[in-house]
Amino acid sequence: MEDTVRIQPHNFGMPFEEVLMKRLNARLTNKIVPDLGLCLFVYDLIEVGVSYVLPGDGSTHTRVKGQLGCELAEATEVGGRFCSKEMMKYDGGG
């Protein structure tokens, strides 16, 4: 996963990687990520890029690469919507 994280000035006093993880978790947790499934949490930061401050914005913008903990849902999807529970097949996990 690659993303750009915006950190506002009131967070500058906190540990940098902790703020990055909190911002990424707030943005990605409980969201569907295409080709990955349901994102449960940000597992690890692999690479943290250089932070930039854009003109007219006091926040920093940092490019990061990380690992996500995701669950791939196995449900029947029709027309972009999930079918009702009665229509989904359950194989008993075996």
What residues have CB less than 8 Å from 11, skipping those under 6 apart?
A: 19
CATH number at residue 45: 3.30.1490.120
Assigned domain for 92 exists: no
Q: In this predicted structure, what is the pLDDT of residue 75?
A: 55
Q: In this predicted structure, what is the pLDDT of residue 47?
A: 96
Q: What global pTM score does this model have?
A: 0.70
Assigned domain for 91 exists: no
Domain with 46 in it: 2-82
The number of residues in the chain equals 94
Identify each DSSP E strand in 1-94 by its residue range.
Answer: 2-7, 31-33, 37-53, 60-71, 77-78, 81-82
Assigned domain for 88 exists: no
Tokens of 39: 């994102």
Q: In this predicted structure, what is the pLDDT of residue 32?
A: 84
Q: How many domains does the chain have?
A: 1
Assigned domain for 52 exists: yes
Assigned domain for 8 exists: yes
Assigned domain for 43 exists: yes
pLDDT tens per residue, the chain (94 residues)?
899 999 999 999 999 999 999 999 999 898 888 777 888 889 899 999 999 999 999 999 999 999 988 887 665 554 455 444 444 444 444 3
